[in-house]
Amino acid sequence: MHLIYLDESGNTGNNLNDASQPIFVLGALIVPEQKWLKLEAELGAAIELAFPAPRPDDFEVHGTEIINARGFFRAFPIQKRLDFFQSWLEIAQRNELKFIYRAIAKKRYAAWLQDTFGSGISINPHVSAFSLVAQVVNELLRASPGAPLGMFISDENQQVVRDVEKSIRVLRGDQGPLRLAQIIEKGFFIESDKSLPLQLCDLCTYAARRLEEEKAGVAVKQIDQACIPWVRPLIHRGKEALPDVLAWLESQQKKERPGN
């Protein structure tokens, strides 16, 4: 069994015109169950080393707060925060974890929605990105030794819980090329402060968004640029089956329209 942690960065919901966050990224961190205990212990030890107790009861690792010195992390200098960020991604690399993500340029996505469905139709980019990421995850699991099964674990994002659960259910039952044959059960949604691997996925996804912004020619602050090399060794590229996913999204939207 592999645990697949999902997190997002650059989320503005259905607002696709936010100039300060032009790219949405959904990331999936794949953790084999036999590595879970070791991973959690190492992540916890790194926290204790960098930020010894006592810590606030609501202490949580967030890429945005570490980089922009918000909340608890405001008390620490830039280099200490960056060193911690790097230490966590190095733990992921030592444990040979894989990170899969999909970036969506919001303006281009909005144009596709308009061209495909016309005015008045909104599909949260999280839903589209999940469909693409899930295909790569499924293919990776199927190609891994023993063809392990996987289970999705996400932060509690109430905007998309229903849509993601529905996508998993429909794609697990699909008999075509998009079938999620390696995914069990429904998606599981937990509070991110209860899961160190989910917080690790947050850091990976944050760094991946900065990578994609840099590739797109968006101005990326120097402190954000520092994170990019740390996530690169974790990235797994696979076939997204983009045409199949777009066709599936269109078919699902048509089913939901009144009169269909």
Residue 151: beta bridge partners?
3
Q: Among the residues of 60-176, which ranges form H helices?
A: 63-68, 78-94, 106-117, 125-143, 161-173
Q: Based on the structure, what is the number of domains in the chain?
A: 1
Q: Which of 153, 163, 134 is nearest to 14 (CA)?
A: 163
Note the Cα 108 to chain centre separation in Å.
20
Q: Which of 143, 121, 98, 157 is nearest to 258 (CA)?
A: 121
**Token pair belonging to 178:** 């998009």
Report the amino acid identity of residue 158.
Q
Domain region containing 208: 2-256
Q: What is the full per-residue pLDDT of the chain (260 aa) written as tens digits?
A: 999 999 999 988 778 888 888 999 999 999 999 999 999 999 999 999 999 999 999 899 999 999 999 999 999 999 999 999 999 999 999 999 999 999 999 998 888 888 888 777 777 888 889 888 999 999 999 999 999 999 999 887 666 777 778 788 777 776 677 788 898 866 788 888 889 999 999 999 999 999 999 999 999 999 999 999 999 999 998 877 677 777 777 777 766 665 54
Q: Specify the CATH number for the domain of residue 29.
A: 3.30.420.10
Whole-model pTM: value is 0.92
Long-range contacts (CB closer than 8 Å, 24 or more residues apart) made by 53-61 = 58/193, 59/193, 60/192, 60/193, 60/199, 61/88, 61/196, 61/199, 61/200, 61/202, 61/203
What SS3 class is residue 244?
Answer: helix
